[in-house]
């Protein structure tokens, strides 16, 4: 009996360590690949817990192998946009300027009832007030209201507000996102020129976005400043 308790305790500690190594985000919204790994780890731990005849090492090795693969995949996802899209997918716009994008909803299998439920949970009951509702890769829905409906005193004070414009990622992890240049109406030469004015090159950039209105956002890679 003592051996069973010890085996269960060791496997429990290994699973806790594995989840911690996979990152705190595991405790909240999980990407599809992360969810699969979590399920695998749990199932792999059950067998040696229930079968005392199975050597403990036989239960630990598969858990450590799956963990190693997950850590390698997470590094690949961090450095590669293509791998990130493959393993995690990409955000999908479900509502744009108060209009449901039916093709996107069909593709993501989100029906109108589910969408309106998600919006109600965020305190939104009027679809016309939604500028963007975006299905994130973790499964949650982000809602951006039209500025005049946002919980701010601008409308009541009679202050003119600018329409909300989604920024477009142009450089990520030192790589120019060529597929996004057309969306933003920009060219690679324009991106390089803007970065040169800010004193850096594309390979020095961690994240660079541009809004249709012209506002830019730049985050330089750590160690690349100066």
Give the 3-state secondary structure of the chain. CHHHHHHHHHHHHHHHHHHHHCCHHHHCCCCHHHHHHHHHHHHHHHHHHHCCCCCHHHHHHHHHHHHHHHHHHHHHHHHCHHHHHHHHCCCEEEEECCEECHHHHHHHCCCHHHHHHHHHHCCCCCHHHEEEEEECCCCCEEEEECHHHCCCCHHHHCCCCCCCCCCEEEEECCEECHHHHHHHCCCHHHHHHHHHHCCCCHHHEEEEEECCCCCEEEEECCCCCC
Q: Are residues 95 and 62 in the same domain?
A: no
- Greater confidence, 163 or 51? 51
Task: Among 34, 68, 86, identify where a domain stops.
Answer: 86
| Residue 162 falls inside a structural domain | no
Q: Specify whether 98 is located in the same domain as 151.
A: yes
Together in a domain, 134 and 101: yes
9 and 54 share a domain? yes
List, for residues 175-205, the tens digit of each pLDDT value: 999 988 988 889 999 999 999 999 999 999 9
Provide φ and ψ at 40, rounded to 5°: -60, -45
Region 20-38: mean pLDDT is 61
Please give the mean pLDDT across all residues of the chain.
80
Q: 102-149: per-residue pLDDT in tens?
A: 899 999 898 888 888 888 888 888 888 899 999 988 778 899 998 777
Residue 161 has a pLDDT of 59
Say yes or no: 19 and 79 in one domain. yes
Confidence of residue 212 (pLDDT cuts 50, 70, 90): confident
User: How many domains are there within the chain?
Assistant: 3
Same domain, residue pair 174 and 143: no
Beta-bridged to residue 145, according to DSSP, are 130
CA gap 137, 81 in Å, rounded: 14
Token pair for 37: 């790994």
Structure-block tokens of residue 147? 């500025």
The pLDDT assigned to 4 comes to: 60
- What is the per-residue pLDDT for 70? 80
Residues 79 and 135 in one domain: no
Domain containing 202 — which CATH number?
3.30.240.20
Residue 226 lies in a domain: no
> Is the predicted pLDDT of residue 10 greater than 90, yes or no?
no
Please report which confidence band the pLDDT of residue 157 belongs to, taking 50, 70 and 90 as the band edges: low
pLDDT per position as a tens digit, 108-117:
898 888 888 8
- What's the pTM value of the predicted model, to 2 decimals? 0.62
Tokens of 109: 């299998």
Residue 119 structural domain: 91-157
Query: Do 49 and 71 reside in the same domain of the chain?
Result: yes
pLDDT for residue 27: 45
């Amino acid at each position: 009996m003592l051996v069973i308790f010890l085996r269960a305790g060791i496997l429990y500690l290994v699973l806790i360590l594995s989840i911690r190594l996979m990152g705190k985000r595991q405790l909240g919204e999980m990407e599809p690949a992360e969810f699969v790994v979590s399920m695998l780890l749990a199932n792999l731990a059950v067998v040696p817990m229930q079968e005392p005849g199975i050597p403990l090492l036989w239960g630990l090795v598969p858990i450590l192998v799956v963990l190693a693969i997950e850590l390698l995949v997470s590094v690949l996802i961090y450095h590669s946009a293509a791998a990130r899209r493959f393993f995690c997918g990409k955000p999908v716009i479900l509502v744009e300027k108060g209009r449901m994008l039916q093709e996107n909803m069909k593709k993501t299998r989100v029906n109108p009832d589910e969408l309106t439920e998600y919006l109600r949970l965020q305190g939104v009951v009027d679809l016309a007030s939604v500028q963007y509702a975006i299905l994130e890769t973790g499964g949650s829905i982000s809602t951006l209201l039209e500025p005049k409906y946002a919980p701010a005193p601008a409308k009541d004070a009679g202050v003119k507000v600018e329409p909300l414009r989604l920024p477009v990622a142009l450089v990520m992890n030192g790589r120019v996102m060529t597929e996004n240049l057309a969306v933003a109406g920009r060219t690679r030469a324009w991106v390089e020129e803007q970065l040169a004015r800010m004193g850096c090159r594309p390979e020095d950039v961690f994240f660079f976005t541009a809004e249709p209105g012209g506002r830019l956002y730049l985050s330089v890679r750590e160690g690349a400043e100066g």
